[in-house]
Amino acid sequence: MVKAFGYSSNGGPDVQEFLDLEMPSPLAGELLVEVRTAGVNPVDWKIRSGMLGAASPGDLPAVLGREVSGVVREVGQDVDGFAVNDEVFGNVAPGSGGYAEYTLVSASTAAHKPPQVSFHDAATLPVAAATAYDGVSQLKLDEGDTLLINGIGGGVGVAAAQIARDAGINVIGTASEDKRALVESLGATLVPYGDGVADRVRQLLPDGVDAIFDLAGGDGLRAVADLLSDREKLITAGDPVTAGELGGRMIERDGTGRVLEIVGRLVAEGKLDPHIEDVRPLDEAADAIAAVEVGHAKGKVVIEVSS
């Protein structure tokens, strides 16, 4: 049997439970992966809660987690480029979850783990770092431009700050004070969010900013939107409704292994550090997701499933 952490109905953290599941079998285009590390992301609790759509009974019980690293144990039909015993990282296949001893990964959204990259770091790349890469690329900024990352201290923000910095972009980010050391270590300028945030940015940048990559949404996004005149340069990863009202748009995800190879290479070259701040064993999966669900995660949280 496979030990996993998931839920049998949509709801709050109280619906979460450990599950004993049959060993999954890869369909065409899928890999069976023995999980080493699972990344923890806000989307995990959003799916569990039902806010992204109610789970249909046929999909339950469901396993939490969208991204993993691990070792390929079986290869489904019609898969090229992956073999048993390959060390990989990627997005889990539809209907699968990452907080588990074994899971299914879509080969089209998987990549080989570079040997220099740890399983922990690799597990953080498919959701947070790949989103960061997609967002920074989509903004098409020039060297010397100024990017405001709204919510710089979490998984996507920390990665986006490093990717933008390496492209010669000046990065300024909103975060709470306790993230100052982390944010400044990324070469970015921290502006505390809350009342007066736009004025604090204007004290540093009287003409405002060239782009906003929003990770906070809602009133946090409204509070900074006027710093940007060209709303084509406003993207969000989490709140398309508010971004749309303000003339911005949702990030477009590439969703292929190509971007995973790029961000994996950045980590291997020492240009991207996901800043894992919290590693929990699978037995503490509830604490791991709670650390993200509270909304103030620092860098990345991961679950070490096996070592």
Ligand X SMILES: NC(=O)c1ccc[n+]([C@@H]2O[C@H](COP(=O)([O-])OP(=O)(O)OC[C@H]3O[C@@H](n4cnc5c(N)ncnc54)[C@H](OP(=O)(O)O)[C@@H]3O)[C@@H](O)[C@H]2O)c1
DSSP H or E run through 155: helix 155-166
Q: From the CB of 55, what's the least distance to ligand X, in Å?
A: 18
Nearer to ligand X, 133 or 193 (CB): 193
Q: Which is nearer to ligand X, 97 or 153 (CB)?
A: 153
- Which of the residues 284 through 303 are near ligand X (CB under 6 A)? 292, 295-297
- Amino acid (one-letter) located at 114: P
Binding residue for ligand X, selected from 24, 39, 42, 257, defined by CB under 6 A: 42
CA–CA separation, 157 and 133 (whole Å): 10
**DSSP per position, 50-110:** TTT-PPPGGG-SEE--SEEEEEEEEE-TT--S--TT-EEEEEEPTT--SSBSEEEEEEEEE
Q: Is 188 in the site for ligand X (CB under 6 A)?
A: no
* Size of interface with ligand X, in residues (CB under 6 A): 29
Shortest gap between Cβ of 296 and ligand X (angstroms)? 4
- For CA atoms 20, 21, 22, 25, the dihedral sign is negative
Spatial distance between the Cα atoms of 210 and 83, rounded to a whole number of angstroms? 45
Instruction: Determine the interface stretch with ligand X among 27-35, 67-75, 123-131, 227-235 (rule: CB under 6 A).
Output: 123-131
Q: Residue 283 has what DSSP assignment? A: G
Would you state the structure tokens that stand for residue 188, as one six-digit string? Answer: 């970015």
| Binding flags for ligand X, 154-183, as an x/- string (CB under 6 A) | xxxx----------------xxx--x----
State the nearest-atom distance from the C-beta of 278 to ligand X, in Å: 11
Contact set for ligand X, span 206-245 (CB under 6 A): 215-216, 220, 237-238
Contact yes or no for 114/89 (Cβ under 8 A): no
Q: Which residue sits closest to ligand X, CB atoms considered? A: 154
Sign of the torsion angle spanned by Cα atoms 114, 118, 119, 121: negative
Closer to ligand X at the Cβ: 43 or 188?
A: 43
Asked if 3 contacts 100 with a C-beta cutoff of 8 angstroms, the reply is: yes
Q: Which of residues 130-159 bind ligand X (CB under 6 A)?
A: 131, 150-151, 153-157
Query: According to CB under 6 A, which one of 19, 127, 172, 211 is a site residue for ligand X?
Result: 127
Residue 56's φ and ψ, nearest 5 degrees, are -80, 150
For residue 249, the minimal CB distance to ligand X (Å) is: 12
103 lines the binding site for ligand X (CB under 6 A): no
For ligand X, give the closer residue by CB, 34 or 214. Answer: 214
Cα distance between residue 207 and residue 250, in whole Å: 25
Which positions touch ligand X (CB under 6 A)? 41-43, 127-128, 131, 150-151, 153-157, 174-176, 179, 193, 215-216, 220, 237-238, 251, 253, 292, 295-297
